A and B are shown apart, each in its own frame.
Chain A
Amino acid sequence: MTQAPIALDTVARAAADPDREQPWADLGLKDDEYARIREILGRRPTSAELAMYSVMWSEHCSYKSSKVHLKQFGESMTDQMREPLMVGMGENAGVVDVGQGYAVTFKIESHNHPSYVEPYQGAATGIGGIVRDILAMGARPVAVMDPLRFGPLDAEDTHRVLPGIVAGVGGYGNCLGLPNIGGEAVFDETYLGNPLVNALCVGVMRHEELHLANASGLGNQVILYGARTGGDGIGGVSVLASETFDADGPAKRPAVQVGDPFMEKLLIECTLELFAEGLVAGIQDLGGAGLSCATSELASAGDGGMHVWLDRVPLRDSSLAPEEILMSESQERMMAVVEPAKVARFLQICAKWDVEATVVGEVTDTDRLVITWHDEVIGDVPPRSVAHDGPTYHRPYARPDWQDPLQADRAEDLPRPTSGADLRATLLRLVASPNLCDKSWITDQYDRYVRSNTVLAQPENAGIVRIDEETGLGVAVSTDCNGRFAKLDPYAGAQLALAEAHRNVAATGGRPLAVSDCLNFGSPEDPAVMWQFAEATRGLADGCVELGIPVTGGNVSLYNQTGETAILPTPVVAVLGVVDDVARRTPSGFPAPGLELLLLGATREELSGSEWAHVVHGHLGGLPPRVDLAAERALAAFLVEGGGSGLLAAAHDLSDGGLAQALVESALRHDVGVEVDLADVAGGDAFVALFAESAARAVVAVRPDEADAVRDLAARHGVPLTRIGATVADPVLTVEGEFSAPLSEIRDAWSATLPAALG
């Protein structure tokens, strides 16, 4: 939107002047898409209609490249998976029944491109957007998480984006009063220029408080409330989310939204009070595509049409053209449908919270979304055609010819440490590497305590929040993805991400219940990337069936690439589990000396895609660890039952960095030493035992008098169990016959990396 229209473009004018040239290409539409719009309307669109279609038919809003693949999540769902689902995919967020009359809604979304352009505001509004999605379901937001990915830690641009992104996540989330209970911070060169900012929010409500987005009821009033509409974020969706960054391109800063978390906090409290008084017939948050999205989605989900008086929208900048008002992505806005008799009370509650609220429309029975500007009709469209009938692409995809050579180049063939001293040095080098080091430089910038229900937060396996103080009911959430595994085999990589999140939730004692996913990939116009996407979604859908947990919603972010270089395929998977009594949760830190250490699961010589190969050899090749979801299920059942019955003093999942990293993290937590003998692991190969990243494994600490009960439990679930040692008072990590290292030395290496790089 560079030039404002000279005269108001109305429906009448569009009919009278059918051949006017329109900037559809600049708005990101393809010629066949523009032709389709003309066909739907039977005339050329007005400029306002063109604006609406262009943002709603963008990749970000319409999922036009991805939806043929995403369908699998619904199609493959079994009745057993559907059982806890109160609301499935397609709404603002999925809702699951967690028992005791409570429902939980959670969803993960990306805000990658805006965060590259303007790290602080991009990340901040990413949190703001996902929180409004949860709020729109009728739930009180209770926690956030932030899986982040950056270029190499020593890269100049990482020093530009990382501090801003972390400050933005913290600045917005902290000011909303939402505890940040976990996330990830992963570094890889493919994310240089394409940082990933994914944000997850969890909300809680009583079953009867569920609200859905629709505009039913002839004569009901449409109220826009929250912040005023300004010029920020105009075209953010179509310009930012659907193009790759071009080094020589124009500056795109104006397309990034600016957030005001204080307004959002008021919006949360105000909205929850509106729900509590039963004043809301339908509700939708304004995020990507702003009013275009909210009006067309509300109208098409209802049973009629809608009339919107666009000139009534309160503006921050009175010079905005109607098209810009429709496209603006100004933050902290909501749209509600309200029965006429309840409007006065609705406005009264908004006034109490100092939230501006304006009736901007009305539900009609015309089946049309009609938009007027000072009594002239500037838009008259079938709402479904904007919101749901966007294009569907069957993008070509093909397994790239580099995949075979990549898989043949195995990390198992790389030179390995040959002595105890080498192993010691390897361990110290790995714990200090960016992906495995202490992340508290980041997580200490987030409030993890607000609301006083945080039972576990980073660096635990999963975050846990209590949702009922009386009964101790709570939920556990973990997000995970190893993009290197997904590069080596996208199908297996997506399943490994799912398995890891599932395992992490179970390790804390949470019974896995549902999945949300954020699928971050390169350009869908590249058949190799599209193949990665197709394989990853197929893997995830199959994996969910095998684990018996449904995908409840999520988000796709494509075009994460600079030039020819795509990011590692990064299907971030969030698993949510139920904890019946949070007092029984299993922490990850070894709490005391004198505990037996037991390794669960089978360790294989699986080093391809591992942190060891990445850090020591800068190598990526081979096949990822074997996926065995039956073993994951058995291990999870063991961990949930063992934790719930109080048998496990501590548990740590094994993933990035293998057993070595798990032992280090659990030992450092309370400065409790560890003595292990790895003779019975991996055929006595201490290197493989310590650094292989075989899946379906965990290490647990148990009291000696309960070790037999734990062995029986493992046998009953068919989980291989190996006693590897014990915790000791002396704060030293000892691997029998190989090496020992004082925890203080390990801690120094582990904790120095981020502060040294970031200040």
Chain B
Amino acid sequence: MRIGVVTFPGSLDDVDAARAVRLAGGEPVALWHGDHDLQGVDAVVLPGGFSYGDYLRCGAISRFSPVMTEVVAGAERGLPVLGICNGFQILCESHLLPGALIRNNHRRFVCRDQRLRIENASTAWTSDYEEGQEVTIVLKNGEGSFVADADTLDRLEGEGRVVARYLGEDPNGSLRAIAGITNEAGNVVGLMPHPEHAVEDLCGPGTDGLGFFTSVLQRVLV
């Protein structure tokens, strides 16, 4: 199964996402921001980083990259898309997901091992988890505070579209401790923490993040 990983100018965790795909058993395919071409991949990861230096607003420029036209069109057709951290920000800027990510409430970048609860285990990217399962993966962001208006939050909660929630102290001021959400169809997931950094025992806090990448392989195989 071929999973595309997009490199924008300033993407940082693209190599990590590609490695995670490989360790999960998929074939990573490098996609370039400037191409109108998804190379026929079965799913797409928008990786973390500081695309375009976070200038203007995180994700605000990348959203206009040529490749995003194809990603948006694909997502609307049901292509599984996972946006991690900066990728989540790009998904929000692209209006594939509601809400926005703003500066952490404590105004500092934070990098730590973060406990999460998987709230929705039926999306394209979380089906290998159990609902309510607690996992620890890496959190690292400067602008990771998820915000949306109360109606949107209520709708996300009501429709079961909160994918993951922070456990313990809220690390960045996200409303309702939301760490990740999905679209109505469940194929597009945005996640602020980094599952691609938790796929090997040696280089991260365990392997709890691998499930995001194995889940999509199941989906693609179906």
Asked whether A and B interact, the reply is: yes
B202 at the interface (CB under 8 A from A): yes
Smallest CB separation, A730 vs chain B (Å): 24
Stretch of B12-20, B70-78, B122-130, B144-152 on the interface side = B12-20
Q: Is A407 an interface residue (CB 8 A)?
A: no
Asked if B2 CB lies within 8 Å of chain A CBs, one says: no
Return chain A residues, CB-CB under 8 Å to B20. 452
Q: What residue of chain A has the Cβ atom nearest to residue B205's Cβ? A: A449
Q: How far is the CA of A168 from the CA of B140 in the complex (A)?
A: 16
Docked CA distance A190–B4 (Å): 53
Q: How far is the CA of A400 from the CA of B184 in the complex (A)?
A: 76
Docked CA distance A583–B53 (Å): 35
Q: Are B200 and A266 in contact (CB under 8 A)?
A: no
Q: In the bound complex, how far is the Cα of B16 from the Cα of A379, in angstroms?
A: 49
| Closest CB in chain B relative to A464 CB, distance in Å | 10
Contact with B along A461-478 (1 / 0, CB 8 A): 000001000000000000
Take A452-B200, A452-B203, A582-B202 as given contacts and tell me if A354 and B111 are in contact as well, using a CB distance cutoff of 8 Å: no
Q: Which of B12, B20, B138: most chain A CB closer than 10 A?
A: B12
Q: Is the interface of A mostly helix, strand, loop or mixed?
A: mixed
Interface contact B111-A452, CB-CB below 8 Å: no
| Contact string against B for A residues 446-486, beta-carbon threshold 8 Å, 1 for contact and 0 otherwise | 11111111110000000000100000000000000000000
What is the minimal beta-carbon distance from B42 to any residue of chain A, in angstroms? 23
- B-side contacts of A176, CB under 8 Å: 12
Residues of B within 8 A of A177 (CB): 12-13, 49
CB pair A448–B111 under 8 Å, yes or no, is yes
Partner pick for B203 among A354, A446, A466, CB 8 A cutoff:
A466
Closest A-chain residue to B16, C-beta based? A452
Do residues A262 and B202 form an inter-chain contact, with CB atoms below 8 A? no
Does A367 reach chain B (CB closer than 8 Å)? no
Of the four ranges (under 10, 10 to 19, 20 to 34, 35 or more), the interface on chain A belongs to: 20 to 34
Q: Give the distance in Å from the alpha carbon of A345 to the alpha carbon of B196 in the complex.
A: 34
Interface residues of A in 418-456 (CB under 8 A from B): 443-455
Q: Which of A472-527 contact B (CB under 8 A)?
A: none
Residues in chain A near residue B194, CB distance under 8 A: 449
B112 at interface, CB cutoff 8 A: yes
Is there contact, CB below 8 Å, between A445 and B109?
yes
Q: In the complex, which of the residues B108, B109, B111, B138 has the most CB atoms of chain A within 10 Å of its own CB atom?
A: B111
Closest beta carbon of chain A to B122's beta carbon, Å: 28
Inter-subunit contact B197/A449 (CB<8 Å): yes
A453 to B15, CA, bound (A): 11
Q: Does B9 contact A (CB under 8 A)?
A: yes
User: Given A262-B55, A354-B9, A449-B138, A583 and B109 touching (CB < 8 A)?
Assistant: no
Q: Does A174 belong to the interface (CB within 8 Å)?
A: yes
Contact A260 B12 (CB under 8 A): no
With a cutoff of 8 Å between Cβ atoms, the chain B residues found around residue A446 in the complex are 109, 111
Of B15, B109, B112, which is within 8 A of A171 by CB? B109
Cβ of A357 to closest chain B Cβ, rounded Å: 16
* Contact residues in B for A102 (Cβ distance below 8 Å): none
Flag whether A633 is at the interface (Cβ < 8 A). Answer: no
- How far, in angstroms, from A55 to B10 measured CA to CA in the complex? 33
The answer to whether A170 touches B109, judged by C-beta atoms less than 8 angstroms apart, is yes
Which A residues touch B55, using CB under 8 A?
A: 262
Closest Cβ neighbor of B11 among chain A residues: A177
Q: Is the Cβ of B109 less than 8 Å from the Cβ of A449?
A: no
Q: Which residue of the partner chain A has the closest CB to B55? A: A262
A455 proximity list for chain B (CB < 8 A): 202-203
Name the interface residues of A162-204: CB closer than 8 Å to any CB of B.
Answer: 167, 170-171, 174-177
Is the CB of B213 closer than 8 A to any CB of chain A?
Answer: no
State the Cβ distance, A260 to closest chain B Cβ, in Å.
7
Tell me if A265 counts as interface (CB < 8 A to partner B).
yes
Q: Are B110 and A353 in contact (CB under 8 A)?
A: no
A-chain residues with CB within 8 Å of residue B112 when the two chains form the complex: 444
Q: Does A261 contact B (CB under 8 A)?
A: yes
Chain A contacts for B52, CB-based, 8 A: 262
Query: What is the CB-to-nearest-CB distance from B155 to chain A, in angstroms, rounded to a whole number?
Result: 33
Interface residues of B in 40-54 (CB under 8 A from A): 49-50, 52-54
Q: Is B204 an interface residue (CB 8 A)?
A: yes
- Most chain A CB inside 10 Å of its own CB: which residue of B19, B54, B55, B202: B202
CB-CB under 8 A from A260, the residues of chain B are: 53
A330 to B77 alpha-carbon distance, docked (Å):
47
A755 nearest CB across to chain B (Å): 10
Q: Return the contact of B53 from the options A167, A262, A448 (Cβ within 8 A).
A: A262
Given A177-B49, A262-B55, A444-B110; A450-B9 close (CB under 8 Å): no
A450 to B200, CA, bound (A): 13
A175 and B50: CB pair below 8 A? yes
* A583 to B, closest residue via Cβ: B202
How far is A454 from B16 in the complex, measured between Cα atoms in Å?
A: 12
> Which residues of A from 240 to 263 have beta carbons under 8 Å from B?
260-263
B15 partner, pick from A266, A449, A451, A466, beta carbons under 8 A: A451
6 A-B interface contacts by CB (under 8 A): A167-B109, A177-B13, A445-B111, A450-B13, A451-B15, A452-B16
**Closest 6 pairs (CB-CB, A-B):** A262-B53, A177-B12, A449-B197, A452-B16, A175-B50, A445-B109
Q: A265-B10, A445-B110 are in contact. List 4 more A-B contacts (CB 8 A).
A: A174-B109, A263-B53, A449-B204, A452-B16
